[in-house]
Amino acid sequence: MKYLQIENNLFIDNRKKFRNKLVKNTLAIFNSNDIMPTNADGTMPFRQNNDLFWLSGVDQEESVLVIYPDNNEEREILFLKETNDHIAIWEGAKLTKEEVLNVSGISNVYWLSEMEEILKELIGKCDGVYLNKNIHSRSASEVETRDDRFRKKIQNQYDKEILEVAPIMHELRSIKSETEISLLQNACNITEKGVRRILPFINPGVMEYEIEAELMHEFLRNRSAGFAYQPIIGSGRNSCVLHYIDNNKECKDGDILLMDFGAEYANYASDLTRTVPVNGRYSERQRDVYNSVLHVMKEATKMLRPGTMFKEYNAEIGKIMESELIKLGLLNKHEVQKQDPKNPLFRKYFMHGTSHYLGLDVHDVGDFDWPMKEGMVFTCEPGIYILEEELGIRLENDILITSNGPDDLMKNIPVETEEIEDLMNS
């Protein structure tokens, strides 16, 4: 891993919180993600299952974590892929049992070859088994995961009640500890370095993928594994395409350039959007639309406080956005007064949500029916997209909810038009 080792107290504390949520005499089992194939003997880069990582810090494939709070002897067990000289030469050495203790704080470590026999004994003693499953509200994957295959095996072999662990993990992971906030801040700081690198680089004639390459260079040299998600580098008309990821067009004089990207650090994500003029100077129209989006962003950020409900939050942002769109001549005040409340007119120009949870996932786990709580982290990302003008502007920062008000983890990253122009022309 490129990142510096995380103190294992984070994972010890996380497991303690988790154990306290389990029903009496039940155990929970977490599997690592698969290494996904490409073609022939190729594979995609490995990305650990976030729940297993949050509980153990183990960032290695073919790993299984078992937590059984009411087991008298071994309440926490890790099963790992056993290393050997062949693996060490071809893939690099895997974690030893001693290293796992240092990483996770778990002393009960076995090889995967021992798992079936030990699990048989443990499951025989328990009253129910918690298993993991991706029940994220945005999940649409048809790929069967290691957890999915394991669930079928447990259901076929054992007559035990199967309990869902995901709701517990969603609740726990939605509140970030001080260590997690520090890791998120580091990811944001690396993203800031990327922003400051590319702004002077952007000029008419540069290709969108060249900007992407500059960002990747800066991220890697700062111990990031790279982008936390597929970056959006969209100029001109592509600034109005919400999930444009081709990044293969030339940036032209007079175009606006929308860039949505973020560095990952230690599996934690950052998520930023900035929209800049390719030639280094906003036109009057670009500046007006930009300042409207910035105003909405600032007002929305103020509402990211403990107790805020998403329904009310989104309704208030809609009213602020309507006012800005009327000011820009995009909406008519009288038509807005007569609009269908279920299909507000502002959705033509601002068609996505303003905030989502952020953490180990870019769209992190958490329930939008919950009130906002101290320790949660959300994006704040309003936008205005005027397709007929080929002008799309979105701004986005990452905000920590605290008892003292919102804490912008990206407050040091330039966002005012004057700051952007000064850096682009430096």
Tell me the CATH number at 41: 3.40.350.10
pLDDT score at 390:
97
Residues 102 and 145 in one domain: yes
CB-CB contact of 247 with 233 (8 Å)? yes
Confidence of residue 415 (pLDDT cuts 50, 70, 90): very high
pLDDT score at 134:
81
What phi, psi does 322 have (nearest 5°)?
Answer: -55, -45
Apex 146 CA angle, 144 and 150, nearest 5: 105
Q: Answer whether residue 272 is part of any domain.
A: yes
Residue 135 above 90 pLDDT?
A: no
Q: Answer whether residue 216 is part of any domain.
A: yes
Report the alpha-carbon distance of residue 237 to residue 325 in Å, rounded.
Answer: 19
pLDDT score at 89:
67
pLDDT score at 140:
67
Residue 29 CA, distance from chain mean position: 23
Report the alpha-carbon distance of residue 190 to residue 176 in Å, rounded.
Answer: 19
pLDDT score at 142:
77
Supply 325's token pair: 């769109």
Among 127, 156, 173, identify where a domain stops: 173
Question: What's the predicted TM-score (pTM) here?
Answer: 0.95
381-389: average pLDDT: 98
Among 173, 192, 217, identify where a domain stops: 173
Residue 94 above 90 pLDDT?
A: no
Residue 388 above 70 pLDDT?
A: yes
Residues 130 and 271 in one domain: no
Residues 139 and 192 in one domain: no
**pLDDT tens digits, one per residue of 301-317:** 999 999 999 999 999 99
Confidence of residue 139 (pLDDT cuts 50, 70, 90): low
Residue 86 above 80 pLDDT?
A: no
98-103: average pLDDT: 93
CATH label of the domain that carries residue 347: 3.90.230.10
Q: Answer whether residue 329 is part of any domain.
A: yes
Supply 305's token pair: 């406080």
Supply 160's token pair: 């035990």
**Number of domains composing the chain:** 2
pLDDT score at 376:
98
Q: Answer whether residue 397 is part of any domain.
A: yes
Residues 166 and 182 in one domain: no
Confidence of residue 341 (pLDDT cuts 50, 70, 90): confident
Report the alpha-carbon distance of residue 93 to residue 130 in Å, rounded.
Answer: 31
pLDDT score at 357:
98
167-176: average pLDDT: 98
Q: Answer whether residue 220 is part of any domain.
A: yes
Q: What is the mean pLDDT of the chain?
A: 95
CA-based torsion, 115, 118, 120, 123: positive or negative? negative
Domain extent for 103:
9-173
**pLDDT tens digits, one per residue of 39-61:** 988 888 889 999 999 999 999 99
What phi, psi does 165 have (nearest 5°)?
Answer: -90, -20
Residue 85 above 80 pLDDT?
A: no
Confidence of residue 137 (pLDDT cuts 50, 70, 90): low
Report the alpha-carbon distance of residue 147 to residue 45 in Å, rounded.
Answer: 19
Q: Answer whether residue 4 is part of any domain.
A: no
314-326: average pLDDT: 97
Report the alpha-carbon distance of residue 129 to residue 144 in Å, rounded.
Answer: 20
**pLDDT tens digits, one per residue of 233-245:** 999 999 999 999 9
Under 8 Å CB-to-CB from 300, ≥6 apart: which residues?
Answer: 313, 317, 320, 354, 355, 380, 382
Nearest alpha-carbon partner for 77 in 93, 55, 46, 48:
55
Among 141, 173, 205, identify where a domain stops: 173
Return the biggest CA–CA distance within the chain.
Answer: 75
Residues 283 and 205 in one domain: yes
Q: Answer whether residue 1 is part of any domain.
A: no
**pLDDT tens digits, one per residue of 192-234:** 999 999 999 999 999 999 999 999 999 999 999 999 999 999 9
**pLDDT tens digits, one per residue of 113-134:** 999 999 999 999 999 999 998 8
